[in-house]
């Protein structure tokens, strides 16, 4: 029987990362674009987990298929962990959001930052949570042409280039989302989906 999973996102870059990592568990990956679903779940939670829960519950109850929902954020230490849970909402597109961060850090030497993902998986057996964090720093300017979001300005610890300079598989090996997906894979194996 065909195994379908909903990735509760309009972001095709994010959908691609889940497809690459979870292709041995699911046959069909459905984004909200697949359903032409324009529903915006108001992410008014106070944590990444609360926002992921809001999306997972909403779309599971709507379609009655397994759902993956995540909420991710960039936290810049010298900016008091701004933008945090508001990372996707400080402006209307990725380019402007990256520009805001670079402008705020102009002239600031301390550029330490973290990328966080909270992932919620929901199916007919319940709701399950996974979280991962990657330390790093903000680059002086945008680098690379891969990925999405803040990838062009985030350099993970131990690397000299941004996520955006990495190929998708390499990024999945070191990124916050890749880490959280590995936790989900372990969980699905234990749940004997394979």
Nearest CA to 125 among 187, 50, 185, 52? 187
Residue 194 pLDDT > 50, yes or no?
no
Task: Give burial (CB, 10 Å; 0-12/13-18/19+) of 2.
Answer: exposed
176, HSE (Cβ side, Cα atoms, 13 Å): 27
**pTM summary value:** 0.91
Catalytic residue among 39, 71, 106, 145: 71
Please provide the CATH number assigned to the domain covering 4-190: 3.90.950.10
Residue 14 pLDDT > 90, yes or no?
no
User: Is 71 a residue of the active site?
Assistant: yes
For the chain, the domains span: 4-190
Instruction: Report the distance separating Cα 111 and Cα 177, nearest Å.
Output: 21
Report pLDDT for 67.
97
Report pLDDT for 192.
67
Residue 96 pLDDT > 80, yes or no?
yes
pLDDT in tens, 80-89: 999 999 999 9
**How are beta strands 112-123 and 126-138 bridged, if at all?**
antiparallel
Nearest CA to 138 among 171, 179, 109? 109
């Amino acid at each position: 029987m065909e195994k379908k999973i909903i990735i509760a996102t309009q972001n095709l870059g994010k959908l691609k990362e889940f497809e690459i990592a979870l292709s041995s568990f699911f046959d069909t990956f459905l984004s909200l674009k697949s359903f032409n679903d324009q529903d915006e779940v108001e992410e008014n939670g106070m944590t990444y987990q609360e926002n992921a829960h809001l999306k997972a519950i909403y779309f599971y109850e709507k379609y009655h298929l397994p759902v993956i929902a995540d909420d991710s954020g960039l936290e810049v230490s010298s900016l008091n962990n701004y933008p945090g849970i508001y990372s996707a909402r400080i402006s209307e597109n990725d380019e402007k959001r990256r520009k805001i961060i670079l402008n705020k850090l102009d002239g600031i030497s301390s550029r330490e930052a973290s990328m966080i993902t909270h992932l919620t998986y929901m199916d007919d057996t319940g709701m399950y949570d996974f979280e991962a964090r990657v330390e790093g720093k903000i680059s002086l300017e945008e680098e690379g042409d891969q990925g999405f979001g803040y990838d062009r300005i985030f350099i993970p610890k131990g690397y000299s280039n941004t996520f955006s300079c990495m190929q998708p598989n390499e990024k999945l090996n070191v990124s916050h989302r890749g880490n959280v997906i590995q936790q989900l894979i372990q969980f699905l194996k234990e749940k004997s989906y394979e």
